[in-house]
Amino acid sequence: MHYPLFYVHSPSITSIAQTKINGASESGQPLAPSLSPAFEKFLDSIKRGASVPQAVKYAKTSTDYVYALLRVSDRAKEMYAQAREERRELRFEAITDIAGKAKPENAHVARLQVDVIKWQLSKEEPTKYGDHATGVVINNNTNVMLVSDAQLEKLQQARQRLIAEASTVTQ
């Protein structure tokens, strides 16, 4: 059985979306959906480190409904973003625990767990957890111009002329 994640006056997700667009219910009153216990369970599970499929199973709802809700509700988006941030912090803090509990016989497993967590964090928030410094852009593109032999000769002559002119100006 799937339980709705948000309680509103209308049972369909289309009505929720339409109400979000209009900003008010049919009576003209502003709509303020209240969180359902299922959505709270979903967010709690995400905060504790669960993936979306695990959290949906725990909350006894569907992924379709979760994603539909996130498309139409700014409040749900904000709460989900906060839950994901808390999950990232929890995973980051878990790295120290994993490394501290490692023994020589299971060090390879601990290293793999830490590497997976670091990789996930770098993909979810590369500016905070990535390998490169924030704001640094590395460009590995090489600008190459293909020219014929005749064009190369003209370019070399122009270069020599500019070098000669520059040396007479500095003297």
pTM of the model: 0.56
**3-state secondary structure at position 148:** coil
Q: What is the pLDDT of residue 74?
A: 87
Residue ranges making up the domain that contains 86? 6-129
Cβ burial, residue 24 (10 Å; 0-12/13-18/19+): exposed
Q: What percent of the chain has pLDDT over 90?
A: 26
Looking at the 3D structure of the chain, how many domains does it have?
A: 1
For 12-43, how does the pLDDT look when each residue is reduced to its tens digit (9 = 90+)? 444 444 444 344 445 544 444 456 788 888 99
Residue 169 placed within a domain: no
* Assigned domain for 139 exists: no
Residue with tokens 């590497």: 115
Does residue 12 form part of some domain? yes
User: Is there a domain that residue 149 lies in?
Assistant: no
CATH classification at residue 11: 1.10.10.60
Residue 138 in any domain: the answer is: no
